[in-house]
Chains A and B, each alone.
Chain A
């Protein structure tokens, strides 16, 4: 045999050649007895091609199935200095790596710059259906090409295709040879054991990860996640933080935490339910730092006598803390005092979102909202027809609502990433310039106090001009 042949096979590479020809790529190969030849991970493709080329081994490359394109970028934007610096860094890293930029600083436009530089069939992988549609329409405008979509009922593959993470994982073993560039938006979703297959089953030699939060302080597994990103996408090649772009690229902002008192009835009900719940977890020896603690708690609730009452008590104390009547009053006050504002209201759960939506007659977007209505709500919010939008978690990331200038976190988890992403929703600078305000409502004397402390452990919340914790006061800033 003269040379080395490489074939894409179900998300992997089948590699044939004499022992001497395979020597330069030995580190990537495993012999697969099932098919009687060597196999390599698809993501090793470019490293193998480089190694074989350097060694002067002829390559019969039947794996690569992507095209060279002639993309022209039609956009009124000119690249900003941080975007140019990021592109330089990414190019220098053989066009593989992760770029860290805050929300609103032009990550999408930066991806367009990378696509224009590479000029190959490209796949953009995004975490939600909303982002799928948003990217597809922006790509169509930017490059004047029809855009393929995978996910949300679409199965259309084109030279430029946008896919959800779920669809990419499911389909990558059949489409992993069709793209020269793969871009992972919000790439902090990639390191999970399933999602990472979307990167490892694809042979694209050029790889770009985009995120505002590749790691989040001391959150569990941050180091391991970065190692996975490095393996399948490349290292972090460029990073710029919110406070470095504030006032220039991003809007100026303040964050305001408002402590809300429970009513005496709510306080009593909260204390009683909380006591019942805490006594139970203590007696059962449940430690919520343990990864399996929640399932153990739920299992015990349905096994032990009286467990169901404990579970109800758990739900009661959580509901009161997340959205007691005091929070509704403060929420209403902020809406009343900011008649011209564009307000996003975030909750920790769908139940609270719908409760607020029903009471205040506001549009609510959750994962249950049908696609057409979701689009209608977002379009109406962007145009100003609807000044207030309520959501649980689906708008935490990515979706572009540049006009929003006030975010009200009625409730949330302890996740730093979630809290930073929610702040990011209101930071996109508008032509008129804006002052963004993030209000965080915290029920006084409840477990929400410590949850709030945990999620604020990020430099975006730690500069002195952000207002310290205080009781209810004038809501406008």
Chain B
């Protein structure tokens, strides 16, 4: 991401608009190429040298702030090694000599003559006493990318940097979007510990994303998480995003798919935890009465609230699917809410799998679950990953109950 001083925005009425760049602009491609060249050819050079070289390159560009932003994004991808020589021992020797001279009052009249009077000083070049400062670190490697990718990242970073100064993000996504993308979207939300209020409004899903404490304090605490989460939104083919940015004043940022933002995060949609993948594989091998769908999308509850189950099971002989939602050790509050919703009859045919690790965290919960009527007929416990037999048994009970 960029720093605040490198933001390039346009103010239009009550709106703030990022000044996106054209990623196919030949002049900008040339600038990005020159910066990347400094990085690639700078392996082994010092941080200070590279920063000076890149600053000179940026200074030549007509839009210095833009050039500095691109430099920052390229430099964020560098790994440095600390200087190979360790001047600490030399320093220590010299400091002990200077300390002795000070204690004993053997000091020349002028401060300029002091260093020369210390025997160890001759072994250290001028300016070399603190040679291991970060400016002297050497470039070890760079996570390389093309000039076009760097410019695309610049546009994304403009938005992400603005999101650092927001309290919440409002989104609109068509319900017809790929369920796999919704799954990736939800997994990123959970990863960044964000909360979502989602309502289905006809063919559109409206979402508000913030964090638990947003309810009390208008804080940008979740800005970093929101900014880190945001790229996954750009994976949808259609989307709208809006938020209020609090910089010098408050202005609205409104974006949609036409902004041309590109999400370069890879494998977002295809990531499945190993235990989930194993369960799906075993279930398919061992059970032929149900067709397992491991990308079931979402369920809409009364009032438009949504839940995202982990699996749907379709009876081979036809009929309504049964869903399964898994609750891990960090899902205690979600489990209690889901039970309340299930008991109220707002959800039917949702199986609940509870990781035993969650019970360890909350001793009272175990007793509550054993007394809960809905959990008694729809729930089961698992350790690490759900048992195929447990699930198959419950599915049969649901089929018979119908």
Q: Which residues of A contact B (CB under 8 A)?
A: 7, 9-12, 14, 16, 30, 32-37, 39-41, 60, 62, 169, 173, 193-194, 197, 200-201, 292, 295, 298-299, 302-303, 328-329, 331-332, 335-336, 339-340, 354, 357-364, 368, 373, 376, 380, 385-388
Contacts and interface: CB of A to CB of B under 8 A. Distances in A.
Contacts of B212: 9-12, 39, 173
Given A62-B362, A332-B107, 14 more contacts: A9-B212, A11-B212, A12-B216, A14-B333, A14-B336, A34-B196, A39-B212, A40-B216, A173-B213, A354-B130, A354-B133, A360-B115, A361-B98, A388-B102
Interface string B154-198: 000000000000000000000000000000000000000101110
B91 to A, nearest CB: 8
A296 B143 CA distance: 34
Contacts of B341: 36
A358 B129 contact: yes
18 contacts: A7-B333, A9-B332, A10-B193, A12-B215, A35-B195, A35-B334, A39-B216, A41-B217, A169-B221, A193-B220, A200-B217, A358-B127, A358-B129, A360-B111, A361-B95, A361-B114, A368-B133, A368-B134
Question: B interface, by DSSP: helix, strand, loop or mixed?
Answer: helix
B325 interface: no
Interface of B: 5, 64-65, 88, 91-92, 94-99, 102-105, 107, 110-112, 114-115, 118, 121, 126-127, 129-130, 133-134, 193, 195-197, 211-213, 215-217, 219-221, 248, 305, 332-334, 336-337, 340-341, 362, 364
A215 to B, nearest CB: 22
B401 to A, nearest CB: 26
B96 A385 contact: yes
B95 A363 contact: yes
A373 B91 CA distance: 11
B99 A388 contact: yes
Given A34-B196, A173-B212, A295 B105 contact: no
Contacts of B111: 328-329, 331-332, 359-360
A12 B213 contact: yes
A65 to B, nearest CB: 9
A251 to B, nearest CB: 21
Contact of A10 (B92, B103, B213, B337): B213
B34 to A, nearest CB: 19
Contacts of B104: 339
A357 B213 contact: no
Contact of A36 (B126, B134, B221, B340): B340
B225 to A, nearest CB: 11
A35 B333 contact: yes
A392 B97 CA distance: 23
Contacts of A10: 193, 211-213
A362 B91 CA distance: 9
A169 B222 CA distance: 11
A148 B112 CA distance: 47
A299 B111 CA distance: 39
Contacts of A299: 5, 65
Contacts, number: 132
Contact of B219 (A37, A193, A328): A193
A295 B65 CA distance: 13
Nearest to B135: A368
Closest 5 CB pairs of A and B: A332-B111, A361-B98, A339-B105, A10-B212, A34-B197
B65 A386 contact: no
Contacts of A41: 213, 216-217
Given A9-B333, A336-B107, A359 B213 contact: no
Contacts of B340: 36-37
A362 B134 contact: no
Nearest to B193: A10
Contacts of B334: 35
Contacts of A32: 215
Contacts of B127: 358
A11 B213 contact: yes
Contacts of B219: 193-194, 197
A37 B121 CA distance: 70
Nearest to B198: A34
Given A35-B337, A340-B103, A357 B129 contact: yes
A303 to B, nearest CB: 8
Contact of B99 (A16, A200, A373, A387): A387
Most buried by A among B65, B107, B220, B341: B107
A387 B103 contact: yes
A298 B340 CA distance: 57
Contacts of A357: 129-130
A236 B204 CA distance: 52
Contacts of B114: 332, 359-361
Contact of A34 (B88, B130, B195): B195
A86 B238 CA distance: 62
Contact of B103 (A40, A169, A173, A339): A339
A30 B215 contact: yes
A169 B92 CA distance: 37
A361 B118 contact: yes
Most buried by B among A60, A357, A358: A358
Nearest to B332: A7
Given A7-B336, A295-B5, A336-B107, A386 B112 contact: no
A362 B98 CA distance: 7
A30 B364 contact: no
Nearest to A341: B102
A339 B5 CA distance: 47
A374 B126 CA distance: 22
A426 B127 CA distance: 30
A405 to B, nearest CB: 14
Contacts of B65: 299, 302
